[in-house]
Structure 1
Amino acid sequence: MKTRTKVAAALAAALLASACSQGSATKAPSGEGGRTTLRYFTFSAAPDHVKDLDAIVAAFEKQNPSIDVVVETAPFDEYFTKLQTSIAGGTAPDTFELNYENFVTYAGAGSLLDLGAVGGDGDLSAYAAESLNAFKRDGKQYALPASFSTVVLFYNKDLFEEAGVDLPTADWTWADEQAAAEKLTDRKKGVYGDFQPVQFFEFYKTLKQAGGEFLSADGKKSAFDSPQGVKAAEWLVSKVGRTMPTEAEIGGTADYDTNLFKSGKLAMWHNGIWQFAGLKDVPFEWDVVVEPGDAGKASAVFHNAVAVSSTTKLGKEAYAWARFLSSSDVAASTRIASSWELPPVADQQVLAGYLKDPKPANRQAVFDALESIALPPVIKRQQEMQDAVTKELSEAASGRKPVPDALKAAAAEVDALLG
């Protein structure tokens, strides 16, 4: 993810036009016949769920015939740069997707509309309370939770069986994963045993698995430059060039790990349940399990929400769309049927259908992962913190710095951001 920058309004408009071209834009803004055009910017729909989002849009427009929703998409690694650019340039979309980690920054900057101001005392009991509260600030609801997802361990059953290695179980530890990965790696055939990105999102989770904490109890200082932090970072770094490709071998190729797994050349893959839909037709058997732990289990859980720009002139219409996208029966059933993450609804019966899909067979792991959650650390300068940690971990992964030195440098940068 890139550092957010302010550029001219002309560039902001160009960037958003480019984002729109990458996804679905079913209608051109018209404003004719009393119809209102509402823009929605998202990262999670493309590339696998654009049609699913189109179906939700169509259902909303049928119920709200005076509103046209125009969808714009961008890849996650470009999304927040483009969003911040559009906000700085005065061309912000009316509604947009936000993840939990970046919510604090946008709410604190005054970029989000207080939804209570346009929604009044609307009944929000359809949402799971913990998901709803995640997007509150100073007692105000600045976004509505739209989905949640967990990270699990994907594995290629065929590769395991061909190598005579026991399949992963929920009781596995790091040591079990490492032993299996070494047996499954065959670099001459281009087969790798494991893939776990060496970056911020994997580090805070493995740190929790090792028994460490990212921030001090008061949140005013980093705490990951610790024995547990070194152990977690070394766990990630030790895989590079051993049971997973090096940075040079990856060569900056987009979706390298996804393509590697789909091609049947990767035995284990740490990734999110949003990948399920894209694996429906791969020519091998695969399944998932809760990720292995060390001192304990810890699974990453990501929450996404729908927010409304504080500068929109369509507050009530934007709120109506946010409510529909995040809590309607149509949205919930569409997400479940297409394996597009999960709706954060209070009614657990709605989620029951998710387990009926036979691929992957062990969908229960998605819910088992919720028993030991590792939430991402959140600060006001979130993106800068993520970039700083990833940069130093990359230095260690490439061999340019020892792990303890890289963590020490990362901690100093994070402390400066907290100060």
Structure 2
Amino acid sequence: MNKKKVLGFTMAAVMAGAVMLAGCGGSTGTGGNNSTPKSENGTSEADSKEAGKVNISFSLWDEVQKPVFDEIVAKFEEEHPDIHVDVQLTPWSQYWTKLDAAMGADSAADVFWMNTYLPKYAEAGVLEPLDSYIEKDTIQLSDYVDVVARAYNYNEMQYCMPKGMDTVQVFYNKSIFDKYKVEQPKEGWTWDDMRAAAEQLKSQITKQGSDEYPILMELDPQPSFFNFIAQNGGYVLSEDNKTAGFDQAETIKAYQDIIDLMDQQLMPGSEVLSDTKGTDLFLSQKGAILFMGSWKAAVLDESSFASDIGTISMPKKDENNHSVIGGLGFAMNAASKEKDAAWELIKYLSGEESNKMQAEAKIDMPALISAQKYYTPNFKHVDANVFFEAAKNGELFPTSPSVADWLPSVNEISAKIFAKELTPQEGCQQMQEVTQKALDSES
């Protein structure tokens, strides 16, 4: 562990957290008025603890998922009457800043959600390695989808138990294809097949004076361009995470392919997509084809035209049609004073009953293979089996210890490419320089 990096992490975290907390009223710290500290859900810390029990805390960021996790934790407490869990909700916009500040002050939750930022926190030494706990309780990581389990193994140490995962695929509006007498997509289709169908749709839409878009996507890494980079045979980061791949011809082409769709009016330009999300346009029945992640499946399944929504794997590009896979894990605070209780909670949260409840509520695709059978039957219209097919050959969302430094820049520069403020070549060169500099700083 690099001590200078840890010190830099904690000091910067405390300063950043102080600024953030000042802006939101100091909801998790002791204010200047010596008021009783409050937990994330607004109750006092004294009220949230139960006498005679081991008290631990669990932090998450999704308000949609919190009610389900309240139920899961209640079941956990029934089975573990000697443990009380304080479930803390912090909105995504504040989650990482608040976590950094709490880590720096040794006051972070005992258990918390973790995502692609894991290398940063593992390098800082603030995550508890789970290998000894897993071995002691003979947990089999092979019971989980391999790519997700591997996502939380860093430097040959397991830092999280898998929660769920998400994949990217295509949703399409059958009624729009039928309206314009264009053949619906079929499994095994290619990028050229998609373009041909989009051109037919565009021709008919123009002829009839209508306003639908043949193709929609959200111009963010996971639902669009990170997939296309991999599908062209390129990479964002090399396998050893030492080299950025934005200067490759395959990466530049991935951006150019999106620009070409915009130029040919087969999908809206960034002036539209920056104001209105592609998914929202699709939900308004303004699009025939939508590239989108499984995390929107429940919303689509409950839409007014859900019976007209088809689901299919992404079209194959130059090399493949692999999906970039994201997901979450349950991490333990290395500074927790109740690690045994924290592990019992993590074990339960990543176990069968918890995954079953999450799957039945459609809030997450289980990474636990045995619990996947509970997920798909809850969809009335959307074919969720496609998601699990995409997971079989999916590729991890690229990450490194400096991901918090280079990924925001990649997003900003990518937006400039799509807005045509930069050419794909110019933008990719800038992203290469920023990302490689961040990677070099890790050594």
Match of 1:344 among 357, 367, 389: 367
Match of 2:387 among 366, 376, 379: 366
Does residue 214 (structure 1) correspond to residue 231 (structure 2)? The answer is: no
Please name the residue that 1:408 is paired with. Answer: 429
Does residue 58 (structure 1) correspond to residue 74 (structure 2)? The answer is: yes
Correspondence list, 1:60-209, <5 A: 60-76=76-92, 78-99=94-115, 101-116=116-131, 121-125=136-140, 127-128=143-144, 130=146, 131-184=148-201, 191-201=212-222, 202-209=224-231
Q: Residue 134 and residue 399 in structure 1: after superposition, are their counterparts in 2 closer, same or farther (change >3 A)?
A: closer
> 1:301 offset after TM fit, Å?
1.5
Give % identity: 24
| d(CA) in 1 for partners of 2:99, 2:260 | 35
Work out whether residues 96 and 307 of structure 1, in 8 Å CA contact, stay in contact via their aligned partners in 2.
yes
Match of 2:330 among 302, 306, 323: 306
Bigger Rg, structure 1 or 2? 2
The one-letter code of the counterpart of 1:71 is V
5+ residue gaps, structure 1: none
Work out whether residues 336 and 353 of structure 1, in 8 Å CA contact, stay in contact via their aligned partners in 2.
yes
Q: Deviations over 1:263-282 (max 9, x none)?
A: 22232222221222223331
Q: Deviations over 1:176-235 (max 9, x none)?
A: 223334554669755333222333333222111112223345432222312211211112
- Secondary structure at the aligned position of 2:334 is classed as coil
- Secondary structure at the aligned position of 2:390 is classed as helix
The one-letter code of the counterpart of 1:132 is A
Deviates more, 1:223-232 or 1:243-252: 243-252
| d(CA) in 1 for partners of 2:210, 2:69 | 39
Please name the residue that 2:251 is paired with. Answer: 229
Q: Residue 244 and residue 34 in structure 1: after superposition, are their counterparts in 2 closer, same or farther (change >3 A)?
A: farther
The one-letter code of the counterpart of 2:72 is I
In the alignment of these two chains, the number of paired residues is 405
Q: Residue 355 and residue 302 in structure 1: after superposition, are their counterparts in 2 closer, same or farther (change >3 A)?
A: same
Q: Residue 345 and residue 155 in structure 1: after superposition, are their counterparts in 2 closer, same or farther (change >3 A)?
A: same
Please name the residue that 1:290 is paired with. Answer: 313
Q: Residue 118 and residue 217 in structure 1: after superposition, are their counterparts in 2 closer, same or farther (change >3 A)?
A: closer
Q: Residue 365 and residue 117 in structure 1: after superposition, are their counterparts in 2 closer, same or farther (change >3 A)?
A: closer
| d(CA) in 1 for partners of 2:291, 2:105 | 37
| d(CA) in 1 for partners of 2:329, 2:430 | 33
- Secondary structure at the aligned position of 1:199 is classed as coil
5+ residue gaps, structure 2: 1-8, 29-39
> 1:69 offset after TM fit, Å?
2.6
- Secondary structure at the aligned position of 1:264 is classed as coil
Give me the TM-score of the superposition, normalised by structure 1. Answer: 0.85
| d(CA) in 2 for partners of 1:258, 1:320 | 38
Match of 2:52 among 23, 29, 34: 34
| d(CA) in 2 for partners of 1:257, 1:330 | 35
The one-letter code of the counterpart of 2:175 is D
Q: Residue 109 and residue 240 in structure 1: after superposition, are their counterparts in 2 closer, same or farther (change >3 A)?
A: farther
- Secondary structure at the aligned position of 1:193 is classed as strand
Q: Residue 309 and residue 414 in structure 1: after superposition, are their counterparts in 2 closer, same or farther (change >3 A)?
A: same
